[in-house]
Structure 1
């Protein structure tokens, strides 16, 4: 059901009066209790991954490590590869879809944002979504922000505090706001 919803919403404007807006909020509400439980009780790594599996609606591999607290506003549109590490206080605004391939590192306080509000003031409560894709072995530094529709290339590094507004190619380091390539990574 979540994949069907993602296909129906990505790339189009959703106003607050659109019936799908209510469906999104209903699904979001279903995860609230799981998120509160995840972040407000001690859990083993195995239990964290079990709860996270329920939140995203897919099995989380036992090689994935998520440091708590972990935040998501939706939860059902997150895809995690193997050997993923997510540090504390990461925020996944995942309605548009967030994919982390194998060996991705997410620093503390990283924001992955797939949702934007509409510009027109009368429709400002409405939404527009685009997916984020972080490819194999990429590293997103502390407090970096990735905006809707951005792909981060394989082996690339997003420096701490960077704001990424455009796709990042493979094997580079990006720094700043907006993020710009500062170095190539030799393979």
Structure 2
């Protein structure tokens, strides 16, 4: 199965059944992505070389303003969209089968996890995966050790406090924190 067809089916159906042709095609892409991540994480590279390798992982030509501190891991790679002036700190893990969209000017702290998959609750059907995208609008800031769960959109300019688990959408211009993440304040209350 060609990559474009695979991405289209994953987006349209939002589910991957264990053992299906879509699952087999996804695993093949994932195998290659894990190999590319291992190469990326086991060398010493310039910023330009990191950008080139991340472009290969994502299948997207990344802007020269993109910056990444290693290590970095992705489960799939080809369903990540990264805007301009994006910084990703070390230790981040992207499970992107459901799609991860990172808006311009976003900052992502150490050890952030983006999880776009849920498994079926039925123990006999755990191999079935349900996919939902994660989107960071422009100028978001995700604090260290935060986890963003499937289907969540982080609104423009918003901040997710370190260590938070975000289970629901975050409105623009707000600060959230905790587990599960809850409203802390409006961004304007923190800007002097």
TM range (shorter): over 0.9
Going from structure 1 to structure 2, the CA distance change for 1:2 and 1:97 (only over 3 Å counts) comes to farther
Asked whether the 8 Å contact 1:112–1:145 carries over to 2, the reply is yes
In the TM superposition, residue 9 of structure 1 has moved relative to its aligned partner by: 1.9
Moved more, 130-139 or 3-12: 3-12
Query: Could you give the per-residue CA deviations for residues 82-131 of structure 1, whole angstroms, max 9, x where no partner exists?
Result: 00000000000001100001000000000001011111111112211100
Asked whether the 8 Å contact 1:130–1:148 carries over to 2, the reply is yes
Residue aligning to 2:7: 6
Q: Mind listing any 5+ residue stretches in structure 1 that lack a counterpart?
A: none
Q: TM-score by structure 2 length?
A: 0.93
Residue aligning to 1:138: 140
Residue aligning to 1:93: 95
Q: TM-score by structure 1 length?
A: 0.96
Residue aligning to 1:27: 29
Residue aligning to 1:174: 176
In the TM superposition, residue 5 of structure 1 has moved relative to its aligned partner by: 2.4
- State how far apart, in whole Å, the 1-side matches of 2:19 and 2:94 are: 25
Asked whether the 8 Å contact 2:14–2:98 carries over to 1, the reply is no
Asked whether the 8 Å contact 1:13–1:118 carries over to 2, the reply is no
Asked whether the 8 Å contact 2:82–2:101 carries over to 1, the reply is yes
The total of aligned residue pairs comes to 187
Asked whether the 8 Å contact 2:119–2:128 carries over to 1, the reply is yes
Asked whether the 8 Å contact 2:55–2:61 carries over to 1, the reply is yes
In the TM superposition, residue 3 of structure 1 has moved relative to its aligned partner by: 4.9
Asked whether the 8 Å contact 1:84–1:104 carries over to 2, the reply is yes
Is 1:122–2:128 an aligned residue pair?
A: no
Asked whether the 8 Å contact 1:92–1:112 carries over to 2, the reply is yes
Asked whether the 8 Å contact 1:156–1:171 carries over to 2, the reply is yes
Residue aligning to 2:186: 184
Asked whether the 8 Å contact 1:53–1:60 carries over to 2, the reply is yes
